[in-house]
């Protein structure tokens, strides 16, 4: 059951061969059996899930339910959920129970998709390995000594282990695509503004973007249909025509021009990862796509610019967590200054403090022009690179990450090395483009993702290419052996 696609699960529910309550119990049992090894969930909500499943079954019985009705799911713990703890992976929000639902949560609740719980993540979405969570590191189901990627590592690991058919994620510098790549699942970051950020706890507001994480491109298309849409409560929400992302999945990609940036295959890329990506390029060529060389000459500046701009926005966004208005409050403060400083010192973890310090420094008087303004100019150059490249191709292809999943603890003492894990994903966030990670093979039995990037609003085209690739490959159907039957490694 846990290896079936959302489309296949939907068919079982619609035909009454299985009920939503049975399906929900099945996945809750898998979480109870397996998640102690993986630590992909911060909170599990069995009572709520079963209540929602009963409502879903009542609607399914009437015969006019939505195709996603009754399919269990989980939310990254960054989305506010009415009545359920929303910790953002931090001690600062360990006791926070939101009084309302994020837009994404309410959209999916309206379809009666039972919520199994909230998934683990890097604290305030700052990290590339899900090791900075207050609730402990999540482990990669493919190798329990390896990280699942970050910051949506809990969502990626839960889907890869078959604990849930779908989980939501967010992508600020690659936090959907990089963990999807490390865990061998499919995840798409839509065009910035396509999915409302209302109720999503902010890290860097001009980068943050929610999106789905599931096994296949087809599953992602179904979920994107439900998640995309204008929301007046988010000033950056886009007004765009409603698109059925499933309608063009089976279009031929014959004649499609796929751009291959020479800069993606240079220094820093693991040669075995490069080989996997080149095999994927050959598969797409067999289907009639044309490979075109393109150049993104300023991509090497993207990581530096991102780690000025994102911390600058974070230093502002996280100023509200001071123990007075929001968040953890220290014990027995001596005075107001002690209350502020000790609450933030005790409530935030090391990586969050590091980024707040960097951001505050970059915005401070005397350094704004030297760092923040210069980084904004680099952001424009990176966006212009993509605009020029898309004059000669329809989508761009490359690796998601320079290496497969690294080991737990391998990069925790070297933040710069950790930041480079997002080397290929960050430029996309600087430009606000849609992009996707698709399973493309393995290196040392660890998954490798294929990166597909498109122009603004080209989600349907990206999903089409990904789906066609998944029609001739089975990487997205493979699962870790020890997971089957609840056996441990």
List residues with catalytic annotation.
76, 151, 175
Q: 388 φ, ψ to 5°?
A: -70, -40
- What does the CA dihedral 280, 286, 290, 296 come to, rounded to 10 degrees? 10
Q: Which residues of 29-48 are buried (b: 16+ CB within 10 A; e: fewer)?
A: ebbeebbebbbbbbbbbbeb
Distance CA 140, CA 136 (A): 13
Single out the residue of 21, 467, 484 nearest to residue 215, CA to CA: 467
Distances (CA, A) of 285 to 176, 296, 439: 27, 22, 17
Distance CA 190, CA 231 (A): 15
Distance CA 172, CA 202 (A): 10
């Amino acid at each position: 059951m846990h290896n079936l696609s959302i489309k296949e699960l939907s068919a079982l529910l619609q035909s009454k061969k299985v009920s939503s309550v049975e399906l929900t119990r099945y996945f809750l049992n898998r979480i109870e059996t397996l998640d102690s090894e993986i630590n992909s969930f911060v909170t599990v909500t069995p009572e709520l899930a079963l209540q929602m499943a009963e409502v879903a079954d009542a609607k399914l019985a009437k015969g006019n339910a939505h195709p996603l009705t009754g399919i269990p799911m989980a939310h990254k713990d960054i989305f506010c959920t009415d009545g359920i703890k929303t910790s953002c992976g931090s001690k600062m929000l360990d006791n926070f129970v939101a009084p309302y639902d994020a837009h994404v949560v309410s959209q999916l609740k309206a379809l009666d998709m039972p919520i199994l719980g909230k998934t683990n993540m890097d604290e305030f979405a700052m990290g590339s390995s899900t090791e900075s969570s207050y609730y402990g590191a999540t482990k990669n189901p493919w190798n329990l000594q390896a990280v699942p990627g970050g910051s949506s590592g809990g969502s990626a690991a839960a889907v890869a282990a078959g604990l849930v058919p779908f989980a939501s994620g967010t992508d600020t510098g690659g936090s959907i695509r990089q963990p999807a790549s490390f865990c061998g699942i499919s995840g798409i970051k839509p065009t910035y503004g396509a999915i409302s950020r209302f109720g999503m706890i902010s890290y860097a507001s001009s980068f943050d973007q929610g999106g789905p994480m599931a096994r296949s491109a087809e599953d992602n298309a179904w979920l994107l249909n439900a998640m995309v849409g204008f929301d007046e409560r988010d000033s950056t929400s886009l007004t765009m025509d409603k698109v059925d992302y499933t309608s063009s999945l089976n279009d031929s990609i014959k004649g499609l021009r796929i751009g291959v940036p020479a800069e993606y295959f240079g220094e820093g890329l693991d040669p075995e990862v490069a080989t996997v990506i080149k095999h994927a390029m050959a598969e797409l060529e067999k289907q009639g796509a044309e490979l075109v060389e393109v150049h993104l000459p300023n991509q090497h500046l993207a990581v530096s610019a991102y780690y000025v701009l994102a911390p600058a926005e974070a230093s502002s966004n996280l100023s509200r967590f001071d123990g007075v208005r929001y968040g953890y409050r220290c014990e027995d403060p001596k005075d107001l200054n002690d209350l502020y400083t000790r609450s933030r010192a005790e409530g935030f973890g090391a990586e969050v403090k590091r980024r707040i310090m960097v951001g505050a420094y970059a915005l401070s008087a005397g350094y704004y022009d030297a760092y923040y303004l210069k980084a904004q100019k680099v952001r424009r150059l990176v966006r212009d690179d993509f605009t020029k490249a898309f004059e000669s191709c329809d989508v761009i292809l490359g690796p998601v990450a320079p290496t497969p999943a690294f080991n737990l603890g391998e990069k925790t003492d070297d933040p710069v090395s950790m930041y480079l894990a997002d080397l290929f994903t960050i430029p996309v966030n600087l430009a606000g483009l849609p992009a996707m990670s698709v399973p493309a093979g393995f290196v040392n039995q660890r998954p490798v993702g294929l990166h597909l990037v498109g122009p603004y609003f080209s989600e349907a085209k990206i999903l089409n290419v990904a789906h066609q690739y998944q029609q001739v490959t089975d990487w997205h159907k493979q699962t870790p052996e020890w997971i089957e039957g609840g056996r441990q490694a």
